[in-house]
Chain A
Amino acid sequence: MLELEARAEPSRLMSYLSPLLAVVLMIAGGLLVFSALGKDPVEGFRIFFLNPVKDLYSVSELLLKATPLMLCAIGLAIGFRANVWNIGAEGQFMLGAVAATGVALHFDGSESALLLPAMIVAGALGGAAWAAIPALLRTRFNANEILVSLMLVYVAQLFVSWLVFGPWKDPDGFNFPQTKMFGDAALMPALLEGTRLHLGFALAIALLVAGYAFMNRSFAGFRMRVAGEAPEAARYAGFSATRMIWVGLLLGGAAAGLAGMSEVAGPMGQLTDKVASGYGFAAIIVAFVGRLNAFGILLASLLMALLYIGGEQAQQYLNLPSSISMVFQGMLLFFLLGSDVFINYRLRLRRRAT
């Protein structure tokens, strides 16, 4: 009979291998899905996994897609390490986009070089403000931040919907739910000629580095890690739980808000009611698959971006709905959670004691 036996010490090897194992299992599962849907699995693999990286332009699209994921995920990871469960990144993303749009629309027509920095600040503040609600309710009233931040996602979506159908609707937009296009000064400058890759990507890399320094090298980051691993020890050491909840949620919100800003000021160039499209939730998966550390998040963002684009490719060439990406993303997370068991346990064939 197969049994799980506790290891004396967690296996370092497995903590690196486990995500790889999960990826392999996901690919295998995916090939099964393709077959079950009547598609040739090899063809499916090529279109889903290889098309997105076949040339420079495709790679730039990959990096572009990964940008909001990296931004959100590093903010979330800091909170998750401290057991602060910010599930509402999707909503904070939207509020950041709204804030940035507000600035862009208010100064519409301006050529000032300060407009873009102002939008960046607004995006971060908008996201942080939306995350401040669950922070306040958790610290003052003990309300569970998972449920509060999640409810606020639905509220945020409805708010955006109201804005783009109502007061911010583009008068020349044929009644589509969208705002005016932003002026040039309100758009992110391009990073690479001939691609859509923009400043947001550089911001994301910068934030990853900052996140790493914070988590692993600063005392504040240390305090958060202790609070997540051993809350009683944090109390014993005098680390303020309240402060950490605020830091975790505000940083997560600000990062998500930045991501929202970088979406509307990037290739989209406007606010629409489909602005978030699941990035906030995908970022949760990225944070876990990336093991809550900056380098892992970098890799995991690229992987998730691949899955997104793969889904779009599948829609175009395989006639499958693009929501197949979500199936792959979910499978990845499940397999990761499952293969993590081997870090602390090993498989044994158990025979009865004589």
Chain B
Amino acid sequence: MRPRTSEPASFDDSVDAPTMSPNSAPPVPQPEPAAAPPRLRLQGIAKVYPSVTANDQVHLSVQPGEIRAILGENGAGKSTLMKIIYGVTRPSAGHLYWEGEEVQVESPAHARSLGIGMVFQHFSLFETLTVVENVALALPGKPALDELAQRITEVSERYGLPVDPRRHIHALSVGERQRVEIIRCLLQNPRLLIMDEPTSVLTPQAVRKLFETLRQLSAEGCSILYISHKLDEIQALCHTATVLRGGKVTGECIPAQETPASMARLMIGKELPQCEHGAAKTDGDVRLRLAGLSHACDDPFGTDLKDIHLDVRAGEIVGIAGVSGNGQQELLRAISGEDVLAEKFPVQICGVEAGRLSPGQRRKLGLAFVPEERLGRGAVPGMSLADNALLTAARNQSLLAAGFLRFNRARGFAQRCIDAFNVKCGGPGAAAKSLSGGNLQKFIVGREILQTPKLLVCAQPTWGVDVGAAAFIRQSLIDLRDRGCAVLVISEELDELFEICDRIAVIAKGRLSPTRPAAETTVEDIGVWMSGLWPGAEPTAPPSQPTHTESLHA
């Protein structure tokens, strides 16, 4: 982390002029003098849902050309606020002023006509249609497709976002899809651009290119609202920041003048918890061995796995980094048993060739698995926590008797998970979907860990989880490792991997890089490897085209 002088954050709500920060951007011209009205001003905005107040008395002000970060952890209300600005939702109270005049943003089309553009975190693109068709759908009127393709190419060249208008979305990588989203906004000459967590799907190099584009836009007078929880990116890019916590504005600051620690304190209200890492063993027995794992994916939109080699030993945490869409899902399914392989030896669990075993059989060997999706995969949303305990723990925790359910034991086990992992909920009878993301994740992790596995595989263990729960989960993984378990973590958050892993590898286009000790690797290296360019890598074959065509014929 780059050192900063620590200065207390300012709590007034006047806007500070942007300052230069040493390590990052070239100088940015001053925004227009404060006599001109702010481009966007929110006053007292509130949004109340029956179960939660997402936004409470939010004040915000953005000048032309300003890049303002909206900083907050998951659940702080950032996305809801942006939906209000973009007209997807209506506020329960408060006023919105656009270039000095009060407006009610009725709909996204209205927002676009005002000059507000939004690039969503989860892209609103249509996979079966081409780039041109997707852009056309977002534009008013009936643009001629050929002329539109021309305009797309112009914009893409001007802002360094190369994309071919005639390709179908499903054939594009995640980074390319984001470019389409951005171009779609830019074609409407926005005066305010909202970017919602844009870098979670990008390699470090791609992030830098994105920042260049955003700075160019800002220099041309476009204001930018940049939603993120990544403190170092905000420091590199943003002039100012508004911090949200629990739906309220808890402060404003100039990121260049803050440290990550001080911003984190604003964000979560207390010190950023640290993990006790400790040292890994290096001589434990091999609990997971992937021996030349190759698997052609059933799904035509998926990624084939190619010749993956990996060993995970008892007493260590191995991490696999990678931008989503490079084979992580397929790899996890091959390890967990949800996809059964053609042969048994490529996946070995505790020395047993397990490639053709079902998930239940692999769990008997000592495997435990925390999947990426909590609701719908890791837990059944409508069922109670006790019932959800039965999902994976039925056999090895003796929750059955002659094929019948033993409710008391299931409840008891669920209660143990709740107690050991500090799960805030209404007891073992509470429905899984009534828990917050962080608490449900703690329950699922707890359920798997309390089965004392020999090998634990986790996917995105702290995605969408509040900082407190995230720290708890990471510490639990480290403690589990110290008890002699082998742990494999697949994550898109590089910070997390560096925090807890002993060795790191990168997955790119279905291939796995060799592992390196985390202490000897930098973010730069990982970024390079994400493009498949690690030493010893073969040149990758061109991606095969899936045959899905929403074509222009019957």
- Nearest Cβ on chain B to A243's Cβ, whole angstroms: 11
User: How many residues belonging to A are interface residues under a CB distance threshold of 8 Å?
Assistant: 24
Stretch at the interface among B226-234, B302-310, B311-319, B375-383: B375-383
Q: Are B390 and A236 within 8 A (Cβ)?
A: no
Q: Report A222 CB to chain B, min CB distance, Å.
A: 6
Residues of B315-336 contacting chain A, CB below 8 A: 336
Is the pair A353, B93 in contact by a Cβ cutoff of 8 Å?
Answer: yes
Contact check, B378 vs A9: say whether CB atoms are below 8 A apart.
Answer: no
Pick the contact of A222 from B376, B379, B382, B405 — CB < 8 Å? B405
Contact A353 B91 (CB under 8 A): yes
User: Which of A9, A233, A353 touches B391 (beta carbons < 8 Å)?
Assistant: A233
Q: Mark B382-395, 1 if CB is under 8 A from A, else 0.
A: 11000100111010
User: Would you call B59 an interface residue if the criterion is a C-beta within 8 Å of the partner chain's C-beta atoms?
Assistant: no
Contact among B381, B383, B405 with A218 in the assembled complex (CB-CB below 8 Å): B405
Which residues does chain B contribute within 8 Å of A236, judged by CB atoms?
A: 336, 338, 359, 369, 371, 377-378, 391-392
Q: Is the beta-carbon distance between A217 and B391 smaller than 8 angstroms?
A: no
Q: Which of A8, A217, A222, A230 contacts B381 (CB 8 A)?
A: A230
Contact A237 B403 (CB under 8 A): no
Interface string of A228-266 (1 = CB under 8 A from B): 011011011110100000000000000000000000000
Cβ-closest chain A residue relative to B377: A232
Asked whether A7 lies within 8 Å of B50 as measured between CB atoms, the reply is: yes
Interface size class of B (residues with CB under 8 A): 35 or more
- The interface residues of chain B lying within 8 Å CB-to-CB of A218 are 403-405
CA distance A230 to B379 in the complex (A): 8
Chain B residues lying within 8 Å of A8, measured Cβ to Cβ, are: 50-51, 434
Interface flag for A5 (CB, 8 Å): yes
A232 to B381, CA, bound (A): 12
Q: If A219-B404, A353-B91 touch, does A233 touch B379 (CB 8 Å cutoff)?
A: yes
Flag if A229 contacts B380 (CB, 8 Å).
yes
The smallest beta-carbon distance between B110 and chain A, in angstroms, is 15
Which residue from A6, A229, A240, A353 sits with its C-beta under 8 Å from B50?
A6
Interface string of A31-58 (1 = CB under 8 A from B): 0000000000000000000000000000
Check A232–B376 contact: CB distance below 8 A. Answer: yes
- Taking the nearest CB of chain A, how far is it from the CB of B334, in angstroms? 13
Interface of chain A residues 1 through 34 with chain B (CB within 8 A): 5-10
Check if B481 is an interface residue, CB within 8 A of chain A. no
* Cβ distance B425 to chain A, nearest Cβ, rounded Å: 12
- Chain A residues within an 8 Å CB radius of B379: 233
Chain A residues closer than 8 Å to B373, beta-carbon distance: 232
B93 and A354 contacting across the interface, CB-CB below 8 Å: yes
Distance of A6 Cα from B390 Cα, bound (Å): 29
Whether A219 pairs with B405 at a CB distance below 8 angstroms is yes
A147 interface contact, C-beta 8 A: no
CA distance A91 to B48 in the complex (A): 52
State whether the Cβ of B337 lies closer than 8 Å to any Cβ in chain A: yes
Within 8 Å of chain A (Cβ to Cβ): is B363? yes
Question: Which residue on A lies nearest to B91, using beta carbons?
Answer: A353
Decide: A238 and B93 in contact? CB cutoff 8 A: no
Contact partners of B338 in chain A: CB under 8 A? 235-236, 238
| B92 CB–A CB distance under 8 Å | yes
Contact A219 B394 (CB under 8 A): yes
Binary interface encoding of chain A residues 195-237 relative to chain B, with 1 for a CB under 8 A from any of its CBs, else 0: 0000000000000000000000111101001100110110111
Give the residues in chain B near A240, CB-CB below 8 Å: 358
Which residues of A are found within 8 Å of B361, using beta-carbon distances?
238
Residues on the B chain within 8 Å of A237, using CB? 359-360, 391-392
Q: Across the interface, do B378 and A353 meet the contact criterion of CB distance under 8 Å?
A: no
Contact partner, A220, options B362, B380, B403, Cβ 8 Å: B403
Decide: B50 and A219 in contact? CB cutoff 8 A. Answer: no
Q: Are B391 and A226 in contact (CB under 8 A)?
A: yes
B363, B376, B381 — most chain A CB neighbours (10 Å): B376
The contact string, 1 if C-beta is below 8 Å from chain A, for chain B 499-539, is 00000000000000000000000000000000000000000
Complex formed: what's the CA distance from A8 to B123 in Å?
27
Q: Report the bound CA distance from A279 to B459 in whole Å.
A: 49
Residues of B within 8 A of A232 (CB): 373, 376-377
Cα distance A230–B371 when bound, in Å?
A: 14
B383 touches A229 (CB 8 A): yes
A238 and B369 alpha carbons, distance in the complex (Å): 12
Determine whether the beta carbon of A353 is less than 8 Å from that of B90.
yes
Kindly state the separation between the CA atoms of A217 and B51 in the bound complex, as whole angstroms.
33
Q: How far is the CA of A218 from the CA of B369 in the complex (A)?
A: 24
- Nearest-neighbor residue (CB-CB) of B400 within chain A: A219
A226 to B380, CA, bound (A): 7
- Chain A nearest CB: distance from B482 CB in Å? 27
Q: Are B50 and A5 closer than 8 Å at their CB atoms?
A: yes
Interface hits, A67-94 → B, CB 8 Å: none
Docked complex Cα distance between A222 and B405 (Å): 9
| Residues in chain B near residue A233, CB distance under 8 A | 376-380, 391
Q: B434: which A residues are within 8 A, CB to CB?
A: 8-9
B329 to chain A, nearest CB (A): 11
* Contact between chains at B387 and A222 (CB < 8 Å): yes
> What's the least CB distance linking B330 to chain A, in Å?
14
CA distance A226 to B373 in the complex (A): 16
Least Cβ–Cβ distance between A340 and chain B, in angstroms: 14
Point out the residues of chain B lying under 8 angstroms from A230, CB to CB.
376-377, 380-382
Which residues of chain A are near B392, meaning CB under 8 Å? 236-237
Q: How far is the CA of A10 from the CA of B50 in the complex (A)?
A: 13
Q: Which residue of A lies closest to B430 (CB)?
A: A9
Task: Please name all residues of chain A whose beta carbon is closer than 8 Å to the beta carbon of B91 when the two chains form the complex.
Answer: 353
Contacts of B238 in A (CB 8 A): none
In the assembled complex, the Cα of A158 lies from the Cα of B416 at a distance in Å of: 59
Shortest distance between the CB of B151 and any CB in chain A (Å): 37
The answer to whether B382 touches A217, judged by C-beta atoms less than 8 angstroms apart, is no
Residues of A close to B92: CB separation below 8 A:
353
Chain B residues within an 8 Å CB radius of A354: 93
A5 to B360, CA, bound (A): 40
Q: Is B431 an interface residue (CB 8 A)?
A: yes
Q: Do B394 and A226 touch across chains, with their CB atoms under 8 A apart?
A: no
The reply to whether B381 and A219 contact each other, CB–CB distance below 8 Å, is no
A229 to chain B, nearest CB (A): 5
Question: Shortest Cβ distance from A15 into chain B, in angstroms?
Answer: 12
Interface residues of B in 182-222 (CB under 8 A from A): none
A350's closest neighbor in chain B, by CB?
Answer: B90
- Chain B residue, CB-CB nearest to A220: B403
State A78–B361 Cα separation when bound (angstroms).
Answer: 26
A5 vs B336: C-alpha distance in the bound complex, in angstroms? 39
Question: Which residues of chain B in 382-436 are interfacial with respect to chain A, using CB atoms and an 8 Å cutoff?
Answer: 382-383, 387, 390-392, 394, 400, 403-405, 431, 434
By a CB distance below 8 angstroms, the chain A residues around B383 are 225-226, 229
Tell me how far the C-beta of A304 lies from the nearest C-beta in chain B, rounded to whole angstroms.
27
In the complex the two chains form, what is the Cα distance from A217 to B410 in whole Å? Answer: 12
Q: Which residues of A contact B359 (CB under 8 A)?
A: 235-238
Q: Which of B157-182 contact A (CB under 8 A)?
A: none
**A238 touching B376 by the CB < 8 A rule?**
no
13 A-B residue pairings within 8 Å (CB atoms): A218-B403, A218-B404, A222-B390, A229-B381, A230-B381, A235-B359, A236-B338, A236-B391, A237-B360, A238-B337, A238-B360, A238-B362, A240-B358
Q: A7-B50, A219-B404, A230-B380 are in contact. List 4 more A-B contacts (CB 8 A).
A: A219-B403, A233-B380, A235-B359, A236-B378
Which 5 pairs between the two chains have the least Cβ-Cβ distance? A238-B359, A8-B51, A238-B360, A232-B377, A230-B380
